[in-house]
Amino acid sequence: MTGFPNIIKKASVNLLYKTGSFAPFHYLNRDKILILTYHRFSETENPFAVSRSQFAAHLAYLSKFRTILSFAKIYECLRNNEKLPENTALITIDDGYRDAYEIAFPLIKKFNVPATLFGVTDFIEQEIWVWTDKMRFIASKMKEENSTIEIANDKIELRNSTPEQVYWTASKVNSILKKMPDMEKELEIARIAKELNVDMPDLPPETNSAITWDQAKEMDKNGLNIESHTVTHPILTNVDETRLNFELRESKLKLEGELQRGINAFCYPAGAVDKKVWQAAKQNGYEGAVTTGYGFNEKGSNPFLLNRIDALPDPVYFAQSSSGFEDFKLKFRK
């Protein structure tokens, strides 16, 4: 019986989708900017990525109901106080995993829509992992199906009998690691790997690998613009001022050197931002930045604190959130 309410809920959302009942919410939100967040893509459906067919469905839906613009075009309009088209949308992809090139990029070209990829420059250089992948790797490779670790005075049970268990139990650890100073975080990951007898390779496995610079340049010239997501993907609210400016400045300079154009947009790793961080982004020459704060953006929104909405894989739930229906439900509940 535990799944019965969810079955009813999905049936209701499906009915709204099939009857076109989300369409009025596009009209109600026509003067707001929708910014969508993607991370991982896959050939087939899985709980932790957007599949090729799902992404195609997303783009078809957005092309019907939204005017998809590039980050540069949106900021040009805002800077010149020009009116944006109704139902403006921006597609963003974080980190720079290889599947963005292999799966998302061909579809972006096919639908002839602009998008933005926020790349971690040392990741693209093939020098580092995206650190949040490390705990998932450790959990998947530990010798026992169930192991208990202690971190920051918390005991967390790691399970790896299914991919879902690996993802969610590792995410519990990552939520604690995010609160630690950057160096302490890396030491804790190394300690846990040693404690669980897992050998950590210097670079991520193929499934977690990054795009190359050649791929980045190809994408950047063909509609999927590359912008900055730091050098090493630290939690910027947990680093000192010197490191903060290094991550902002050097990632910008590296991308500008490789792509031979100005870099103006930034994405805060894990959405971690405070006044010091967003003002540093402005001082380092960016024109705006996106967070992980949920919601649409209105005229007058702080360009360095722009909200985004996660692109849920299922096309029906994607339509619900991108139309503004989900936002309406959340506000109505309040």
Spacing of C-alpha 257 from chain mean position: 24
What's this model's pTM, rounded to 2 decimal places? 0.93
Segments of 154-242 assigned E as strands:
154-159, 224-228
Helices vs strands, H then E, count in the chain? 15, 12
The pLDDT, as a whole number, for residue 22 is 84
CB 173 within 8 A of CB 158: yes
> Measured on CA atoms in the order 231, 236, 241, 245, is the torsion positive or negative?
positive
List, run by run, the mean pLDDT of 10-residue segments along the chain (334 residues).
46 58 87 96 94 97 95 85 91 98 98 98 97 95 91 90 92 95 94 96 95 98 98 96 98 98 97 98 97 92 94 94 86 64
Q: Is 240 helix (H, G, I), strand (E, B) or coil?
A: coil
pLDDT digits (tens, 9 = 90+) for 293-313: 999 998 888 999 999 999 999
The pLDDT, as a whole number, for residue 79 is 77
Length of the chain equals 334
- As a whole number of angstroms, the longest Cα–Cα distance in the chain is 59
Q: Which residues make Cβ contacts (< 8 Å) with residue 88, sequence separation at least 6? A: 33, 34, 66, 67, 69, 74
Q: Which residues make Cβ contacts (< 8 Å) with residue 171, sequence separation at least 6? A: 135
pLDDT digits (tens, 9 = 90+) for 109-158: 999 999 999 999 999 999 999 999 999 999 999 998 899 999 988 899 99
User: Residue 41 is inside which H or E element, if any?
Assistant: strand 41-42
The pLDDT, as a whole number, for residue 20 is 65
The pLDDT, as a whole number, for residue 13 is 61
The pLDDT, as a whole number, for residue 1 is 40
Burial group, residue 229, by CB count within 10 angstroms (0-12, 13-18, 19+) = buried
